[in-house]
Amino acid sequence: MQQISGNPTAPRLAVLVSGHARGSNLQALIDAHAAGELLTSVVLVIGTHSESAALERARCKGIDTLVISPMKPGRTETEYGDTLLQALSRRNVDGVCLLGYMRRLPLTIVAQFRNRILNIHPSLLPLFGGQGMYGLNVHAAVIDAGVKVTGATVHLVDEDYDTGPIVVQQVVAVNDDDTPETLAKRVLECEHKAIVEAVRLVMETGIEVVGRRVITKPTTTSQEHAP
Ligand code: GAR
C-alpha cells in the first residue's frame, strides 16, 4: 500500500499538452481554482508545439508557459525527460496533469512524480485506451463496438499508455443516434468535472494506492466526530 498525502495548503500543478490540445480541461482547472472550488493552482503549462490553443489560454491567464518539443532534432528521450524535469523542479511543482498529451511520458518523470501524475482519457478505461486511441478515434470505436455506456477516466500515470490506477470515472450513455462528435461533446462535459474532482483528491485530500485500486480517504466533518 502506498499512502499519498495531500497538501491542504496550495498545491502547485504543471499541465502538459500536445499540439492540438484545445485546453478545455485546463480551463476547467483554472476556473475551479478561481471559483475557490480548488486550492490547487496551475503554475506552468508545457506544450510540445508552440501553436496550441491550450498554451494561448494559459498565456491569457498569466500562467507560465514553455514549449519543450520531444521532436527537436537530435533530442533523445532521456534529454527530453531531463529538460521536462528541470522545468518542473524549477517551478517547484507538486504534481502534473496530462490534458490532451498524446505521448508516453519519459520514465524519469514517472519515477520522480509517481502517483502524482494524472492523465485524462475520454472513455471508461481499460476499454478503448492505448496508443492511437485519442480524440474522435475513441468515440468512433465506442460506437462501432455497440456499447451502451462510455465516459471519462482520470487515472494515475504509470510506464504505459492509459494503464495506471483509476482515480475518477464518470459514465455517459451512448444514444442510438450518436456520432463520434455528439458523443465527444457529452463526454467532454464529464471530463471537466472528473479532472477537477481527481485533482482535488490526489493533490489536496490524499489517496492510498492498494495494488491497482485507488482508495480515497473519507472526508471527516466535525459532525461525524460529535458524540
Ligand atoms: C480530451 O478529450 C482528453 O480526454 C483527450 O484529449 C482531449 C483534450 O481536450 N486525451 C486523450 O485522448 C488521451 N489519450 P482539451 O484540450 O479540450 O482539454
DSSP β-bridge partners for residue 16: 46, 98
Find the helix or strand (DSSP H, E) in which 121 lies: strand 117-121
CATH for 2-218? Answer: 3.40.50.170
139 lines ligand 1 (CB under 6 A): no
Q: Which atom of ligand 1 is nearest to the CA of 122?
A: 4
* Mutational pocket test of ligand 1: of 121, 125, 128, 172, the residue with most ligand atoms within 8 Å of the beta carbon: 121
Global pTM reads 0.92
Q: What is the pLDDT of residue 90?
A: 96
C-alpha to C-alpha distance for 113 and 31, rounded to whole angstroms: 25
Return the active site residues. 121
47 lines ligand 1 (CB under 6 A): no
170 lines ligand 1 (CB under 6 A): no
The stretches in the chain having pLDDT less than 70 are: 7-8, 218-227
The cell numbers describing 174, all together, are 451512448
Q: Which atom of ligand 1 is nearest to the CA of 54?
A: 16
The values of phi and psi at residue 130, to 5°, are 100, 180
100 lines ligand 1 (CB under 6 A): yes
pLDDT tens track for 177-201: 999 999 999 999 999 999 999 999 9
C-alpha to C-alpha distance for 106 and 49, rounded to whole angstroms: 17
* Mutational pocket test of ligand 1: of 18, 20, 25, the residue with most ligand atoms within 8 Å of the beta carbon: 25
pLDDT tens track for 116-155: 999 999 999 999 999 889 999 999 999 999 999 999 999 9
Q: Which atom of ligand 1 is nearest to the CA of 138?
A: 12
